[in-house]
Structure 1
């Protein structure tokens, strides 16, 4: 059976790290989430490739590969290999919790701008709809979901049917998945391609640099390349980025201060990385105080610039 039902109980077990967030979401929650750029390597799929999770299995056909290619062409970045480039929240892994998780285990921003990524859970926007049952099978076995009982195989009376017959059956899940993919496509247009080009030489064309991307994980770097890309489009965008930078420098300072009080050995590497983020922000502030060269982000037409400004302010989802 490839049918899965899902009913969130708001137990918070899967809220064990900061989520991937679109840039407007990070701007909205600038005093809660430290932003970073997460770069991952996405494996290319081949016809006849066998994907297996427990007893669930799929042999990829031409339609599956076409679906993967469609996602890659609109949401991902290719230069030999295929990569995902996303903005997301960042925090000390030792805390094992999302910064938006309240003391009672509930989401503090559930009704106040919860990231679309959280609505998509437990689905994966980079996987074709017809194969989402494999995502659910894998997450049903992961430590984050064990004991949560939110993902169940087959149709259940106590949980809405999420996937069956290669389709997303739940209308709310379909809508959330479409909005997340739309946001990723918009990010690619607004800043993604410009950032990809700016990192091409030092990262994507360097085997040594690419080796830093852990298998199945992400390389996290400062979000500054994203800010420089959008700040170059208008004076208003520049000011929005400067305001964001000031909030982030203050938040990083508070988080480091709390980490020093915890005195955990495993926090040291993250503290060092956060200090690097803060230094990058300071350099970006100095650069934004000068005239930035224009970058090819959408168009120089006033309507396009207004669109980007509105997007940063969260008017476009």
Structure 2
């Protein structure tokens, strides 16, 4: 079985068919382009001897594969009975079938202005051990999105970079991007995702009924507000940045809804309803932050997490 894949990006834009996963800092860098949300996914746990099938490709997991997954889970994922991913995510109408940063010519409009790191990782998956990335590529190569693009090819090719070769990431640029994305997710954990996990534990992660809202193979998308409230508590500067971000998001959501109403698509209605919910949550959060600013000004309290202030301040230019 061929476990070697090559990759050559043709800049066709087919993989840019939805908003990407992003760090909170990346969302703050593009507040007028990407509507932010939190995406929560259920991640399957692996066991030695388990067989994974992707088309004609198969892998029987061994102890090393499962140990590698556990290392990723310990640093990037969250456990509450099951295992979960919590990431910041761009959000938009699926009917548009495009990333908000995709220009009319099929190229990325922000390629040189802070393109999300996750885009550099494509077509690899940072939550999958390196030894099994060939299965990720086999799945992507056979998906309807990639069919005809010929960007993912089995074996070694003269016209494409060798990406994965028998359980290792062969391309140095891809290896570096994968490592940087994993470090970014680990940093997100320290900045806000661990705090959000704990805040949502009783209402979501410890509730079987609530967890049923997470679709198999998909994500539960919720407002970004829990993340904003968490980082806003770090300092007055963080709170100001969060209020500015909320203002930009409210304007962007309003524009997006107006455009959707013009399209008159029935399948847009659930997303419009969810966006209105996001906007309502943002307005309530802004009121809380404004009240907190008044209290802080009166009491003279100081920043507790200068690392978070540096993280958000560095994202805003």
Superposition TM-score tier, normalisation by shorter sequence:
over 0.9
Give 1:60's aligned residue. Answer: 61
TM-score scaled by length of structure 2: 0.95
Give 2:281's aligned residue. Answer: 280
| TM-fit CA distance, 1:38 | 0.2
Give 2:260's aligned residue. Answer: 259
State the Cα deviation string for residues 188-234 of structure 1 (Å, max 9, x = none).
11111110011011111111111010000000000000000000011
Give 1:144's aligned residue. Answer: 145
Give 2:313's aligned residue. Answer: 313
Unaligned residue ranges in structure 2 (runs of 5+) = 294-300
TM-score scaled by length of structure 1: 0.95
Aligned equivalents of 2:216 and 2:313: distance in 1? 35
Give 2:79's aligned residue. Answer: 78
Checking the alignment, whether the CA contact within 8 Å between 1:18 and 1:98 is kept in structure 2 is: yes
Matched residue of 2:270: which SS? helix
Aligned equivalents of 1:301 and 1:85: distance in 2? 29
Matched residue of 2:22: which SS? coil
Aligned equivalents of 2:256 and 2:160: distance in 1? 38
| TM-fit CA distance, 1:315 | 5.9
Unaligned residue ranges in structure 1 (runs of 5+) = 293-299
Q: Superposition RMSD on alpha carbons, in Å?
A: 1.5
Checking the alignment, whether the CA contact within 8 Å between 2:235 and 2:302 is kept in structure 1 is: no
Aligned equivalents of 2:302 and 2:132: distance in 1? 40
Checking the alignment, whether the CA contact within 8 Å between 1:25 and 1:314 is kept in structure 2 is: no
Checking the alignment, whether the CA contact within 8 Å between 2:77 and 2:86 is kept in structure 1 is: yes
Give 1:220's aligned residue. Answer: 221
Checking the alignment, whether the CA contact within 8 Å between 2:238 and 2:313 is kept in structure 1 is: no
Tell which deviates more after alignment, 47-56 or 9-18.
47-56
Q: Is 2:170 the counterpart of 1:169?
A: yes
Aligned equivalents of 1:45 and 1:94: distance in 2? 34
Aligned equivalents of 2:134 and 2:151: distance in 1? 14
Checking the alignment, whether the CA contact within 8 Å between 2:234 and 2:306 is kept in structure 1 is: no
| TM-fit CA distance, 1:311 | 1.3
Give 1:116's aligned residue. Answer: 117
Checking the alignment, whether the CA contact within 8 Å between 2:29 and 2:315 is kept in structure 1 is: no
Aligned equivalents of 1:39 and 1:54: distance in 2? 27
| TM-fit CA distance, 1:301 | 9.8
Q: Is 2:17 the counterpart of 1:3?
A: no
Checking the alignment, whether the CA contact within 8 Å between 1:131 and 1:166 is kept in structure 2 is: yes
State the Cα deviation string for residues 14-42 of structure 1 (Å, max 9, x = none).
10000000000000010000000000000
Checking the alignment, whether the CA contact within 8 Å between 2:38 and 2:221 is kept in structure 1 is: yes
Aligned equivalents of 1:164 and 1:226: distance in 2? 38
Matched residue of 2:174: which SS? helix
| TM-fit CA distance, 1:305 | 2.9
Checking the alignment, whether the CA contact within 8 Å between 2:95 and 2:267 is kept in structure 1 is: yes
Tell which deviates more after alignment, 53-62 or 160-169.
53-62
Aligned equivalents of 2:56 and 2:26: distance in 1? 38
